Structure 1
Amino acid sequence: MKLEGSCHCGAVRFSLESRHPYPFNLCYCSICRKTAGSGGYAINLSGDFESLEIEGAEHITKYNARIEGDESPAERSFCSRCGSALWLWDPRWPELVHPQAGAIDTPLPAAPERTHLMLGSKPDWVPLHEGPKDQCFDGYPEESIEAWHKRLGLER
């Protein structure tokens, strides 16, 4: 599926191909919470990095989070004008790019399931609305993300 996205002010626009554009992965880690907004979690999609096309790249700034004193190789891209979180790219998986679902303008299909990650980092003020299709992982998944993709037929 071709996805199109943008920042809030319109300075950055992008498109990419995604084989599984389901907004299913809700992360509560402090990096996602603080860089992607105050909703208490971030939803990253998965896409093909080679297909990423960008207009307004001169307005992009990147952030590498510090984890236990070390800089993460994962690059989070933001609009330098309005601060919108756009996508994450990690050189450990160079073929993938993970756009923020909130930056996507294309209507997205509903996720068949949702996965809650890093619940140990969830602040008390953020409610957890678990439904029949939700799975909660607290940093120690009972099912890996790879296994989840395979089980739902979402792998490449």
Structure 2
Amino acid sequence: MKQLSGSCHCGAIAFTFSTHAPAPFMRCYCSICRKTSGGGGYTVNMLGQYATLKVTKGKDLTAPKDQQVLCQDRFFCPTCASILVLPYASCIDTELPKPERATHIMMGSAAKWAVPEDGERYDEYPPYSLEEWHKTHGYYVD
């Protein structure tokens, strides 16, 4: 597995986690992703191993599990409001591999103004998982 590090915009919170799938290739246009972080009308989620998540700085600033909303695995910085965990690729500080092309998912929920670049497009989910894509394209890390 590859260990990744991330942080919020102001630096008050930092974290690490491990993943088998470090290439940020799948752009999600669902309303949750779009409204919580998608300046381009989408967000890019990473496939992190939740059991490996460690908040290394600012743990006291993160909301307790019973106060988190929408998804138990999301939290944000109360100072700069960066959304930190699914995690979104935008908060990863470790250099990530650049995939050859993007896959655009949940296009059925996309804002009319969001114009995806070239790549595969799916109204909902693709017929493969993030892990399968990484294995097929040579990005999977044991």
TM range (shorter): 0.7 to 0.9
1:151 is aligned with what amino acid? T
Structure 1 residue runs without a partner (length 5+): 66-72, 89-98
Distance (Å, rounded) in 2 between the aligned partners of 1:107 and 1:140: 27
Q: How does 1:108-119 map to 2 (within 5 A)?
A: 108-119=96-107
| 1:1-37, Cα deviation, whole Å (9 max, x unpaired) | 2211100111100111222211011000110011113
Distance apart, 1:149 and its partner CA: 4.1
What residue number does 2:88 align with?
Answer: 100
The alignment of Structure 1 onto Structure 2 pairs a total of residues equal to 135
Residues 150 and 109 from structure 1, CA distance in 2 versus in 1: closer, same or farther, beyond 3 angstroms? closer
2:81 is aligned with what amino acid? G
Among 70, 77, 81, the residue aligned to 2:79: 81
Distance (Å, rounded) in 2 between the aligned partners of 1:53 and 1:140: 29
2:89 is aligned with what amino acid? A
Distance (Å, rounded) in 2 between the aligned partners of 1:11 and 1:43: 22
What residue number does 1:16 align with?
Answer: 17
Greater RCO structure (CA 8 Å; 6+ sep): 2
Among 37, 52, 69, the residue aligned to 1:64: 69
Structure 2 residue runs without a partner (length 5+): none
Q: CA RMSD in A?
A: 2.1
TM-score if structure 1 supplies the norm length?
A: 0.76
The share of aligned pairs that are identical, in percent, is: 42
